[in-house]
């Protein structure tokens, strides 16, 4: 099958300037490092990782809101990373992004109806009768009550606001949606409802989702494939059901899943042991000093238990295939018995 999006060796450097003591300092922060993956039509691809790991930047690069420093993005085989905003305009029918903060992406001076009308105008629907019909359809599609149409964004609840955003985006009939934390900071019941709605739309309209999230519970239930990101790198690619069964994986994924599991069990578990699991840098090291070798190793429990092998210190790891479609960027991806001799 032909992938709809192909990302090849994508990187992004941000230059950050700050002032201190009347001098200006600059430093460069690499938000995304050499990321490659592809998305197939009709798929739900989840990207998980801690905050600040570059998930959102990656999403923004795919809709041409952030220009990549290097690398390629192919949309339906067409390279788009150097297109101007104007040239990208026709492709916005193909790919759209739903942002994390729904209130920030709506104009506080416009009613919901005006938002939808504007979106439809951009989709070249000009006939007032057609606009009226489309608005009807869209509100039904996202299950929004018609009273909401006359309201302003600050009158909406969190769930309604997300529905309005979805409706506005669906007005352009995109094929691919990038959902940036679609259900974060929602109440449990509304979270469930929005997830159900998104899955229904996925079925009904045949959309492709890139689901950026840190909520592992939902991601595990929903996604076809999971990419795990840490500090701008993809560390692991997990196929749907192979996640924890084959006993392999990256130590960071291990941390994520353990923490999620302990938070979601009923027993009052002892969290004091979790201190060992949580990523804690060894004293005196920062991320910036990790130019050689595995970048994760200062947080890595496995690296310490197997005796700090030279391989981890010297060579940056490449992806290893541990089972079908399951890729791990680690020198020692086996959890059970790491058969290694420290060198």
Backbone angles phi, psi at 324, to 5 degrees: -60, 125
Does residue 108 bind other proteins (CB under 8 A)? Answer: no
Comparing CB distances to other proteins, the nearer of 94 and 106 is: 106
Does residue 221 bind other proteins (CB under 8 A)? Answer: yes
Residues 188 and 219 sit within 8 Å (Cβ to Cβ): no
Does residue 185 bind other proteins (CB under 8 A)? Answer: yes
Does residue 195 bind other proteins (CB under 8 A)? Answer: yes
Does residue 23 bind other proteins (CB under 8 A)? Answer: no
Does residue 66 bind other proteins (CB under 8 A)? Answer: no
Comparing CB distances to other proteins, the nearer of 50 and 246 is: 50
Question: What's the token pair of residue 286?
Answer: 């920062």
Scanning 7-15, 116-124, 202-210, 263-271 for contacts with other proteins by CB under 8 A, the matching segment is: 263-271
Scanning 88-96, 106-114, 214-222, 236-244 for contacts with other proteins by CB under 8 A, the matching segment is: 214-222
The site string for other proteins over 135-154 (x = CB under 8 A, - otherwise) reads --------------------
Does residue 200 bind other proteins (CB under 8 A)? Answer: no
Question: What are the counts of helices (DSSP H) followed by strands (DSSP E) for the chain?
Answer: 11, 12
Burial 295-317 (b: 16+ CB within 10 A, else e): bbbbbbebbeebeebebbeeeeb
What one-character DSSP code corresponds to residue 232? T
**The binder of other proteins chosen from 50, 114, 151, 254 (CB under 8 A):** 50
What gap in Å lies between CA 243 and CA 226, rounded to an integer? 9
Comparing CB distances to other proteins, the nearer of 52 and 307 is: 52
What gap in Å lies between CA 343 and CA 332, rounded to an integer? 14
Question: What's the token pair of residue 257?
Answer: 């899943």
Residue 67 CB-density burial (10 A; 0-12 exposed, 13-18 middle, 19+ buried): exposed
Q: For binding to other proteins (CB under 8 A), which residues are involved?
A: 18, 20, 49-52, 157-158, 184-185, 187-190, 192-193, 195-196, 199, 214-218, 221-222, 255-256, 259-260, 262-264, 266, 268-269, 271-272, 274-275, 278-281, 286-287
């Amino acid at each position: 099958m032909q992938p709809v999006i192909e990302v090849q060796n994508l990187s992004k450097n941000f230059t950050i300037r700050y002032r201190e003591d009347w001098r200006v300092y600059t430093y460069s922060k690499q938000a995304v490092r050499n990321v490659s993956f592809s998305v197939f039509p009709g798929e739900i691809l989840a990207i998980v990782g801690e905050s600040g790991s570059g998930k959102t930047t990656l999403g923004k690069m795919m809709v041409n809101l952030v220009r990549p420093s290097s690398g390629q993005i192919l949309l339906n085989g067409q390279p788009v990373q150097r297109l101007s905003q104007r040239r990208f305009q026709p492709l916005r029918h193909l790919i759209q992004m739903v942002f994390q903060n729904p209130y920030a992406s709506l104009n506080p001076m416009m009613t919901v109806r005006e938002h939808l009308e504007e979106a439809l105008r951009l989709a070249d629907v000009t006939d007032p009768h057609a606009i009226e019909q489309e608005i009807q359809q869209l509100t039904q599609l996202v299950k929004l009550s018609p009273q909401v149409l006359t309201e302003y964004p600050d009158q909406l609840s969190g769930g309604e606001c997300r529905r309005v955003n979805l409706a506005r985006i669906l007005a352009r009939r995109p094929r691919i949606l990038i959902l940036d934390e679609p259900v974060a900071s929602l109440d449990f019941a509304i979270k469930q409802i929005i997830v159900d709605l998104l899955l229904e739309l996925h079925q009904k309209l045949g959309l492709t989702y890139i689901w950026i999230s840190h909520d592992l519970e939902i991601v595990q239930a929903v996604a076809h494939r999971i990419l795990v990101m840490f500090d701008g790198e993809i560390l692991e690619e997990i196929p749907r059901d192979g996640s924890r069964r084959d006993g392999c994986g990256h130590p960071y994924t291990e941390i994520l899943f353990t923490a999620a599991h302990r938070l979601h069990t009923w027993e009052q578990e002892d969290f004091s042991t979790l201190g060992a699991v949580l990523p804690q840098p060894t004293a005196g090291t920062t991320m910036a000093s990790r130019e050689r070798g595995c970048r994760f190793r200062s947080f890595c429990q496995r690296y310490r238990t197997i005796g700090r092998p030279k391989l981890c210190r010297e060579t940056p790891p490449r992806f290893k295939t541990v089972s079908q479609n399951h890729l791990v960027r680690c020198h020692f991806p086996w959890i059970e018995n790491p058969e290694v001799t420290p060198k």
